[in-house]
Amino acid sequence: MNLSPDKQREMLRQMLTIRRFEERASADYHAGKIYGVVHCYIGEEAVAVGVCSALETGDQIISTHRGHGHCIAKGADLNRMMAELYGRQGGYCKGKGGSMHIADFGIGMLGANGIVAGGISIVTGAGLAAQMDGNERVAVSFFGDGASNAGPFHECLNIAAAWKLPMLYICENNMYAAQTAAAATHAMPDVAGRAAGYGIPGIVVDGNDIFAVYQAAARAVVRARAGEGPTLIECKTYRWRAHTERVGQPDFRTPGEIESWKAKDPITRLSAQLIAQGSMTDADAKAMDDEVQASIAASVAFAEASPFPTPEQALDDMYAA
């Protein structure tokens, strides 16, 4: 794997951006400035960044209810993201979407989705479009372990395999669907094992090892661009925070389990690696964090300066012209 030091530092920066963005989103949610619900991706950053680092502009992804990480990894604008969480006109969806529905079609981010497994078929359609275009673009579906038990996952894997669609199916197995342990709901421990049923490669990777994720994704991208069809990649990872930021939610996970995964923090891991191999210094790491923090603060300022939608705007964008 020959990733330039620049690219490796960029991967670190993106993971850090996701972490800091969500720390702020969580705080602002609890401060009452962000409404409804926020699902944090903290702890899983290596999956989104590892996969998206293997993509080109023009490749398309779709996300889940836990979508901030995928947005940032695909290159979304923090200002418009934060403004969307704040429910403002300047948000990606003009304040109509919120955390569960951020999209930026311009950068190939086809949307977070409030329905578990809801995005899998949509992005498979983007893969079909890429195949019909013949432009060697790929499409990537991010989804959880919980979503892998839903019908559209199976329907889409079969179709993508049968039609050799240029797809990556990325299962983010964080071991839980809300409060329910995957161990209690999955017939087989590895979601990747299901690939055998569709005659496609199914790969398990350490989802907290960004280079392992990157490598698996890069191989799957080569296969997809060559017209050989989809790959299912299961990234074993863990979310640090509760399922959502809503107050008073049960969380049956043990403190010991949570702590053991915090010890496998993908960000600490990559930054230690970069420092050890001489790609950056402690001071560089600190400077990077300061810059990221500044960009988050700027996004909050942008959001706060953006007006709320006017009531009449509720009727805008009903139908396309």
**Residues in contact with ligand TPP by the rule CB under 6 A:** 64-66, 114-116, 144-147, 172, 174, 176-178, 243
- C-alpha neighbours within 13 Å on the C-beta side of residue 233: 29
Query: Rounded CA gap, 137 and 123, in Å?
Result: 12
Q: How far is the CB of 233 from Mg ion (least distance, A)?
A: 15
Q: How far are the Cα atoms of 50, 99, 246 from residue 40, in angstroms, in the given order?
A: 18, 10, 11
Query: Of the candidates 170, 226, 229, which has an alpha carbon nearest to the alpha carbon of residue 198?
Result: 229
Which residues would be at the binding site for other proteins (CB under 8 A)? 60, 62, 91-97, 101, 103-106, 110-111, 113-115, 118, 120-130, 132-133, 139, 151-152, 155-156, 158-159, 162, 316-321
Pick from ligand TPP, Mg ion, other proteins, none: which does 120 bind, CB < 5 to 8 A by kind?
Answer: other proteins
Pick the stretch among 111-119, 143-151, 158-166, 219-227 that binds Mg ion (CB under 5 A): 143-151
The CA–CA distances, whole Å, from 270 to 21, 85, 95, 218, 286 equal 19, 29, 35, 18, 14
Residue closer to ligand TPP (CB basis): 149 or 273: 149
Do the bridges between strand 167-173 and strand 231-236 make them parallel or antiparallel, or are there none, so unpaired?
Answer: parallel
Kindly tell me which of 176 and 261 has the beta carbon lying closer to ligand TPP.
176
Shortest reach from residue 36's CB to other proteins, in Å = 13
Distance in Å, CB of 197 to other proteins, minimum: 14
Nearer to Mg ion, 145 or 265 (CB): 145
DSSP state letter for 109 = B
Q: Which of 50, 67, 144, 201 binds Mg ion (CB under 5 A)?
A: 144
Cα separation, 233 vs 40, in Å, equals 21
